[in-house]
Chain A
Amino acid sequence: MDTLVDIRGLSKSFGPVKAVEGVTFSVKRGEVLGFLGPNGAGKSTTMKMLAGYLTPTAGTASICGFDIVKQTIDVQRRLGYLPEGAPAYGDLTPLGLMRFAAGLRGIRGAEREKKIQTSVERLELQSVLLRPIETLSKGFKRRVSLAQSILHDPEVLILDEPTDGLDPNQKHQVRTLLQQMAKQKAIIISTHILEEVDAVCSRVIIIGDGKLLVDERPGQLEARSAYHNAIVMRMPAGDAEKAAKALSGMAYVAKVERVGQWDGFAQLRALAAGGTDILSTVHQAVSKAGVTLQQIHVEHGRLDDVFRKLTAKSRSKES
């Protein structure tokens, strides 16, 4: 496993505004890094610096061993980049755009057509291949931009919101594609869709106010949630009181909440203090109290919960 992306203290200021401050992390081959953060946090700015579109104010970064400032062209040859908003020349067709990108990447002739064909198949662009890009829907535009980014089979992919505007089927296809490609590449994706983080990412970075707040695996991030390892139980409505009483005051049970009631059933949630595994103790306690459970399951932490808590400080600055 080699480190393909290495970022140290990367910073970018626009006049007095510090868009990115001292961001440090690295990505190895085989990893898919999810970049999360509120709007305006600095995700896109960081990506633009890595892709060689913006010059950093401070700090260094290297991709595949090449410095992003001093060896920008070398970096760009080995990088596939999907810019924010998926911009593309509207008058070109997807085929024309890919030929243009391939040409500038030094891919010519039969090899070019073969690589374009592969990209087209992976992103299912056959039906729109010869239509001007400006006539395509938002989803297709994004897929075209994604297609040009993987055309040359780069070692590193930096994708700014790759599934934005795609319908659920398309989202699924792109995520599957990313998972397949991840094995041989280092991929950085920025996203607002937290379920995407679960589905695709092996690591998560949260950026707030230009600073790196968290750098963990999704599992570790989930564990920060108050809802991590919470036990949710469904029981006859009449038993809810009994169960709640039996559980409150128990060690490692932080709180007992009534989640809902319908059709004669009630649903309770017991929050685990410190995310400890309380499944068996809760089950025993509830059975001892004479309650027959219809259903019981363990909840994973809620990423949006963790996200909100971690970025609360930067959000309050925004508003």
Chain B
Amino acid sequence: MRNVMIICKRELAAYFSSPLAYVFIVIFLALAGSMTFYVGNFLDRGRADLEAFFNFHPWLYLFLIPALGMRLWAEERKSGTIEFLMTLPVRTSEAVVGKFLAAWLFAGIALVLTFPIWITVNYLGAPDNGLIAAAYVGSWLMAGSFLAVSACVSALTKNQVIAFVLSSAVCFMFLMSGLEMVQAFFRSWAPDLFVRAVAQISFLTNFFDLAEGVIDVRAVVFFLSLIGVSLVINTAIVDLKKGT
């Protein structure tokens, strides 16, 4: 456990020691803000909620989160520091969890920094703050899922660009699995159970359940399970690569 914290601390510090952290946070905040106000028509809608804000999170994450995840393992492989790390008395699982936690915490920091919009909606009206809090948690869980998948893909390659593109693609599939277009495709030939199963693993479906205040334990369990499974697969990939 202590090793996990040590690795987590070091990774988090690494984010902030380069322009990466600052560029990411600024872009994320700028995009989240402009999407909310312009594309989401936050002001015109005249509703005291942050739906216009949260609607865009899946899409923002789709192309920003893989940028966080891609460097987790690919960079270590490229620079050779993975040999330094893995020859210290550290279990692979500790390293995997430590790195993931650091990235997840960082994503959390970026999310927290959107607080001005929460203040704004409270200034302009009387929103259901409990609902908004639930949506923030849901968004953070979804970010964690995106990250866990990205970290996993990052462990497969030395090349950060490949890691980015591949994890974006995988995350995209998870996102889209809830959409009618994908559902319709499966419905035509797959048993109903399967179609519903595919819908269940959609990031969109589960996130919006939480964002709309449906205290859906299933959604929380889904995100946490996905994170858990991805971390296990991540550990297996790093271990397998030890043989080569």
A55 to B241, CA, bound (A): 9
B88 interface residue per 8 A CB criterion: yes
Total number of B residues with any Cβ neighbor in A under 8 Å = 23
* Given A54-B242, A89-B14, A100-B6: A76 and B87 interface contact (C-beta under 8 Å): yes
Q: Which residues of A contact B17 (CB under 8 A)?
A: 91, 132
Nearest Cβ distance between residue B166 and chain A, in whole angstroms?
23
Determine which of A53, A101, A105, A106 lies in contact with B86 in the assembled complex, contact meaning CB atoms within 8 Å.
Answer: A53
Q: Is the CB of A52 within 8 A of B87?
A: yes
A80-88, A212-220, A256-264, A301-309: which lies at the B interface? A80-88
A103 interface residue per 8 A CB criterion: yes
In the complex formed, the residue of B with least CB distance to A56 is: B243
A101 to B13, CA, bound (A): 15
B228 interface residue per 8 A CB criterion: no
A51 interface residue per 8 A CB criterion: yes
B90 interface residue per 8 A CB criterion: yes
B3 interface residue per 8 A CB criterion: yes
B10 interface residue per 8 A CB criterion: yes
B116 interface residue per 8 A CB criterion: no
Majority-rule SS of A interface residues = loop
* Given A100-B6, A104-B3: A55 and B87 interface contact (C-beta under 8 Å): no
In the complex formed, the residue of B with least CB distance to A97 is: B84
Q: Is the CB of B81 within 8 A of A89?
A: yes
Determine which of B2, B7, B80 lies in contact with A85 in the assembled complex, contact meaning CB atoms within 8 Å.
Answer: B80
Q: Name the residue among B14, B18, B84 with the largest chain A CB count within 10 angstroms.
A: B84
Q: Is the CB of A73 within 8 A of B91?
A: yes
Q: Is the CB of B6 within 8 A of A104?
A: yes
Q: Which residues of B contact A84 (CB under 8 A)?
A: 80, 83
Nearest Cβ distance between residue A55 and chain B, in whole angstroms?
5
A242 interface residue per 8 A CB criterion: no
* Given A53-B83, A83-B80, A87-B81: A104 and B242 interface contact (C-beta under 8 Å): no
A143 interface residue per 8 A CB criterion: no
Q: Name the residue among B2, B83, B86, B242 with the largest chain A CB count within 10 angstroms.
A: B83
Nearest Cβ distance between residue B13 and chain A, in whole angstroms?
8
A258 to B79, CA, bound (A): 51
Nearest Cβ distance between residue B64 and chain A, in whole angstroms?
22
A262 to B166, CA, bound (A): 70
Q: Is the CB of B89 within 8 A of A76?
A: yes
8 A Cβ contacts from A233-265 to B: none
In the complex formed, the residue of B with least CB distance to A104 is: B88
Q: Which residues of B contact A105 (CB under 8 A)?
A: 88-89
A59 interface residue per 8 A CB criterion: no
A101 to B242, CA, bound (A): 21
* Given A53-B242, A54-B242, A85-B80: A91 and B18 interface contact (C-beta under 8 Å): yes
In the complex formed, the residue of A with least CB distance to B11 is: A89
A65 interface residue per 8 A CB criterion: no
Q: Is the CB of A51 within 8 A of B79?
A: no
Q: Is the CB of A88 within 8 A of B6?
A: no
Q: Which residues of A contact B3 (CB under 8 A)?
A: 103-104
Contact with B along A88-118 (1 / 0, CB 8 A): 1111100000001101111000000000000
In the complex formed, the residue of A with least CB distance to B244 is: A14
Determine which of B14, B84, B88 lies in contact with A91 in the assembled complex, contact meaning CB atoms within 8 Å.
Answer: B14
A77 interface residue per 8 A CB criterion: yes
8 A Cβ contacts from B59-92 to A: 79-81, 83-84, 86-91
A185 interface residue per 8 A CB criterion: no
Nearest Cβ distance between residue B199 and chain A, in whole angstroms?
41
A43 interface residue per 8 A CB criterion: no
Q: Which residues of B contact A81 (CB under 8 A)?
A: 87
Q: Is the CB of B84 within 8 A of A83?
A: yes
Nearest Cβ distance between residue A132 and chain B, in whole angstroms?
8
A269 interface residue per 8 A CB criterion: no
Nearest Cβ distance between residue B83 and chain A, in whole angstroms?
5
A48 interface residue per 8 A CB criterion: yes
8 A Cβ contacts from B132-168 to A: none
In the complex formed, the residue of B with least CB distance to A108 is: B2
Closest 9 CB pairs of A and B: A87-B80, A76-B89, A91-B17, A51-B87, A103-B6, A77-B89, A83-B83, A55-B243, A87-B81
B residues within 8 Å of A by Cβ? 2-3, 6-7, 10, 13-14, 17-18, 79-81, 83-84, 86-91, 242-244
Name 7 extra pairs, CB < 8 A, besides A91-B17, A105-B88. Answer: A53-B83, A73-B90, A74-B89, A76-B88, A81-B87, A104-B3, A106-B89
